[in-house]
Structure 1
């Protein structure tokens, strides 16, 4: 197949969306498909400048004008970057804006599959990220803009059951949908597969003889690492030798350093910085704890399971789907830090229970969240969209874990 992938996340962006489409493109090419990736980086410089001028002019109208200019400008950039002469079989847009731009650019002659990577309704997500006044004109525009785009989405691919449930009410009645969870190379993450760790990622050498709690992600409010600092403060009294390692960079770094210092946790919580090779970190950890408050289908939880590291996660979005075999590992967001600290102390003190948790998680994830399953499900929906295969049966209703809020 001749496949076009579009995204508003440019190469090098610190984004799970970028990681997803780069992995997907490589896997599709390995199977013999021709894949073109288009982002705003593919735009001719003079076109980018012209769109920028238009955006600034519209921005003179105030906050509403700035949001209108940005949203329309992003869609226009993708529209102008697409080569209309290419005989594409299918487009897979990694967001609804570039999906709409592709439909317009290719005049609806090529089916456009939109993959839902967002953690909330995409308009609401923008409002929250930018802290826009919810009743202001800019916030109202964002929600209505994304409702407009979703109503024009004919093929929707969710990376979690959560994403499909969230999106379904906004899609047209005749939209076709499917689910293809994020997937990783299970074999590549297996202990020993990645070779010896570097000095920077050898946690056992950095913290000899100490149990290690690990968290990986952008240091930001949504990822909620300050909650894990509070857990570490409680854990210090229950398991004094334990160390909590936070991997990542971001806007909350200074706040987290101040919080760690204020509670005297310099020996208990370590900010390790940003690292791309996470397998070695996960191999060395005793437990991975995911504290994000809003999520879709977090790659890092799957990577932890593939690495043989038992995982716990606050209930958010599609996280409970990844831990469905171990409902005790999905924790309500209202869980007090002391309660999680007690659970972690029990796990650290009982290697057999920890191993059983890891084994059940891995057995459930091994075929469901492997990259082969992701590619197979994605290609099946591409073929459905292009008419090369019969329609897939609608996704089965999935019973939510007891800890997941309704």
Structure 2
């Protein structure tokens, strides 16, 4: 572990001190933005599951948003990081690093758990000389999205991996991608699937309707590729479907224009951010997510918990959630024809679609419980807390060091 960190000169001995880890350690959770999203849902779920075992504080760019609201509900401190934004900006990113470092020096966590590529990069650079254990959770590698930035993203991840005590991937596919790209050594890579609270019994919806409701919960931005969903929905044979899109983002004006151009205004509702997502899922008949890239989306787990059949792209960790032909249908990324065929078949065989939804509920309950996720993260954190940071003076070793120094002096 020490050799792995030293690759780019992490020197935790620059901050030597006696570090007391209490029975209830201090945990700081950092994510880029406080807006609604999968990473924020994960942070809220993890914080709620661990708040009796750790002193937890949460930080993100706010000061408002779904995550700030969740912290208020849970009674957890929320810290606004003014300069931490999604888009790259050298001077603003430098300021964000200073803000994160000052927060860590003030809060003095035993562990900082960082989420998302941007927060992960900025925080690890800023904290490289502080005595704090860093756990980085990857909600889908940015370099897997392709495009011109793929090489740069991979290089950034390789450069900052030595500043990390543990890297947690949310899917086996992401761990395999990290190993294939040489991002980090196998010893610090872990896989922990996202988890969710699932009702004990599935919702039983009754007969398949003549005009089924399709729901999509997503940020209206790349890489969700909702444009392909509208194109698919406009194809012949899909007239019975009604679509409700929940979420907001920079692509909204373009999607509204596309909806009008395709003549879908009477069939597609754009509901924006909602606080009643659970109720919207209950009122739906199927769920769709046509993303170009993903980690292990919470939106799909929420749909499975609501006993909805899922139609989604075969990308990222989605095949680890959705069993093709059993709990839903997987389609190739960007293939609007395949997406249209899947929706057409789902409507033609409504009773099979209902059975898929019930099977999805069982799969979510058995394989993606919040309790299992929380226990895995707790085990990773506790294991790291047992290991001394290079240069750190642990209380149980301080007396030994003092006696040894006396013997050497004699």
Please give the TM-score of this superposition, normalised by the length of structure 1: 0.73
Q: CA offsets, 1:170-219, max 9 Å, x none?
A: 44436422211111111299649xxxxxxxxxxxxxxx962111111111
Unaligned runs of 5+ in 1: 43-47, 53-62, 193-207, 389-406
Aligned residues: 337
Q: What is the Cα deviation at residue 18 of structure 1?
A: 2.4
Task: Map 1:4-403 to 2 at 5 A.
Answer: 4-11=27-34, 13-29=35-51, 31-39=52-60, 67-83=89-105, 86=108, 88-95=109-116, 96-97=120-121, 99-101=123-125, 103-104=127-128, 106-107=130-131, 110-121=132-143, 144-168=155-179, 169-173=181-185, 175-187=187-199, 191=203, 210-234=211-235, 237-324=236-323, 326=325, 329-337=329-337, 339-387=338-386
Q: What is the Cα deviation at residue 142 of structure 1?
A: 5.9
Whether the 8 Å contact between 1:367 and 1:373 is mirrored in structure 2 is no
Closer, same or farther: CA 344–144 of 1 in aligned 2, 3 Å: closer
Q: What is the Cα deviation at residue 325 of structure 1?
A: 6.2
Q: What is the Cα deviation at residue 302 of structure 1?
A: 0.4
Q: What is the Cα deviation at residue 291 of structure 1?
A: 0.7
Whether the 8 Å contact between 1:120 and 1:166 is mirrored in structure 2 is no
Q: What is the Cα deviation at residue 275 of structure 1?
A: 1.0
Whether the 8 Å contact between 1:313 and 1:329 is mirrored in structure 2 is yes
Question: How much is the aligned-residue C-alpha RMSD, in angstroms?
Answer: 3.3
Closer, same or farther: CA 144–177 of 1 in aligned 2, 3 Å: closer
Q: What is the Cα deviation at residue 372 of structure 1?
A: 0.8
In structure 2, distance between residues paired with 1:297 and 1:70 = 30
Closer, same or farther: CA 301–387 of 1 in aligned 2, 3 Å: same
Unaligned runs of 5+ in 2: 1-23, 64-80, 388-410
Greater Cα shift, 93-102 or 355-364:
93-102
Please give the TM-score of this superposition, normalised by the length of structure 2: 0.72
Greater Cα shift, 273-282 or 144-153:
144-153
In structure 1, distance between residues paired with 2:364 and 2:130 = 38
Whether the 8 Å contact between 1:114 and 1:155 is mirrored in structure 2 is yes
Q: What is the Cα deviation at residue 365 of structure 1?
A: 2.0
In structure 2, distance between residues paired with 1:256 and 1:172 = 39
Whether the 8 Å contact between 1:315 and 1:332 is mirrored in structure 2 is yes
In structure 2, distance between residues paired with 1:250 and 1:180 = 28
Q: What is the Cα deviation at residue 335 of structure 1?
A: 2.9
In structure 1, distance between residues paired with 2:197 and 2:249 = 27
In structure 2, distance between residues paired with 1:146 and 1:253 = 31
Greater relative CO (CA pairs within 8 A, separation 6+):
2
Secondary structure of 2:43's counterpart equals helix
In structure 1, distance between residues paired with 2:293 and 2:278 = 24
In structure 1, distance between residues paired with 2:342 and 2:185 = 45
Whether the 8 Å contact between 1:184 and 1:370 is mirrored in structure 2 is yes
